[in-house]
Amino acid sequence: MRGYFGKTLTAMAALALTTSVAVADDVEVLHWWTSGGEAAALGVLKEDLAGKSIGWNDMPVAGGGGEAAMTAVRARVTAGNPPTAVQMLGFDIQDWAAEGALANLDEVAAAEGWDAVVPAALQAFSKYDGHWVAAPVNVHSTNWVWANKAVMDELGIAEPTTWDEFVAALQKVKDSGRTALAHGGQAWQEATMFDGVVLSVGGPEFYKAAFIDLDPAALGGEQMVEAFNRMATLRSFVDDNFSGRDWNLASAMVINGEAGFQIMGDWAKGEFINAGKVPGVDFACFRVPGTAGVVTFNSDQFAMFAVADAGAQAAQAEMARSIMSPAFQSAFNVVKGSVPSRTDVPNDAFDDCGKKAMADLAAAAEGGTLIGSMAHGHANRAAIKNAIYDVVTAHFNGEYDAETAAAELVTAVEAAQ
């Protein structure tokens, strides 16, 4: 492990040169955390590093799910100039590691004991070939609904636990003249809803068969047709201006009572918190009806690209160490809406939705129902994910009926393999 001595001390820098202990540079961080809540969470990380005299060189690339960010990373690496640290999801980490592009974090991982505290489901993505290549900063999950509490109370809506109850609740909101479902028409947002919808139809076995095993019988069968029918039902509850809307603007519609519900990963909670809203008072969080007990997760990790410069390497090690410290994990995830990637972080600082998310995660890990999110790169590689995105979004926009969409899913996934 390279030590860090504070980069303003030139005497120390000289010492570093003579003992091959490097002084940490700034970190250059490529990420897609550009909404208000995300920026607030990022601020926690920046501040933590600033406290260690590590400067921050920001490279934001907007777009949930990280598609645009991944395109930007590819361009930087191709140009021979990779960023120091990159926010990355699931299979993207594995793909970059397979290309030999990532730095080995084994030394800091061993010194800090990551093996003992990071759940196996996350390690499957943080490690390649038995070596740590990324530091998991959080665990999000996608099968959540966010609701405006005042709207629910006014309309006498109890928390729905079945799909039919959910549809009835959406109808009540629509009848009241509001937008029932806040949604942004972008492929990744539709795919995020699809995670919860597929799970609500067929449970974890069906979800795994379709998105992880890519079983054509699951991808093209009756249950998938039903999932597309449910998507069409949801489509009937969005407003006319949904096309292209960013997810955080959809969250804002729920926050200000213009809409009743949003189906979105728990990064949406970051928007509510950032707006000063309190769970149980201003808003409600519940699992997509019909998916209780199952968690479709995605973990934001920081992958460090292999760079030759010793100062950059020192900054990478320090950033990885900071990210994984229990105090940071608590402070960051409280703001981000996610839960810690370590199992030993107390839940005291978390609000009710956060406590529920932590308990759900632990129970799902224990019960074998913690499953990688298709929409957020934890079920299969990007090529497959994108093929599914295309079909889901085409159906949502009325290009296919449910039967055709299920058939197209089989074809598209096959072609992408």
Please give the residue ranges that form the binding site for ligand BGC (CB under 6 A).
Answer: 32, 38, 64-66, 89, 140, 267, 298, 300, 376
User: Cα(157)–Cα(406) distance, rounded to whole angstroms?
Assistant: 33
Nearer residue to ligand BGC within complex by CB, 112 or 195: 195
Which is nearest to 220 in space by CA: 377, 370, 91, 388? 388
Nearer residue to ligand BGC within complex by CB, 163 or 283: 283
Q: Let me know the angle formed at the C-alpha of 237 by 235 and 243, rounded to the nearest 5 degrees.
A: 55
**Contact present, 134 and 125 (Cβ < 8 Å):** yes
Nearer residue to ligand BGC within complex by CB, 183 or 376: 376
Sign of the torsion formed by the C-alpha atoms of 285, 287, 293 and 298? negative
User: Cα(339)–Cα(138) distance, rounded to whole angstroms?
Assistant: 6
Which is nearest to 122 in space by CA: 301, 294, 265? 301
Nearer residue to ligand BGC within complex by CB, 239 or 271: 271
Report CA-CA distances (Å) from 336 to 206, 265, 267, 294, 333.
30, 11, 6, 21, 5
And the tokens for 125? 């993505």
Nearer residue to ligand BGC within complex by CB, 89 or 227: 89
CB of 211: closest distance to ligand BGC in angstroms?
16
Nearer residue to ligand BGC within complex by CB, 84 or 189: 189
CB of 375: closest distance to ligand BGC in angstroms?
8
What are phi and psi for residue 70, nearest 5 degrees?
A: -65, -35
Nearer residue to ligand BGC within complex by CB, 118 or 170: 118
And the tokens for 393? 């979004």
**Contact present, 360 and 353 (Cβ < 8 Å):** no
With b for 16 or more beta-carbon neighbours within 10 A and e for fewer, the 213-229 pattern comes to: ebbeebbbbebbbbbbb
And the tokens for 40? 């607030």
CB of 35: closest distance to ligand BGC in angstroms?
7
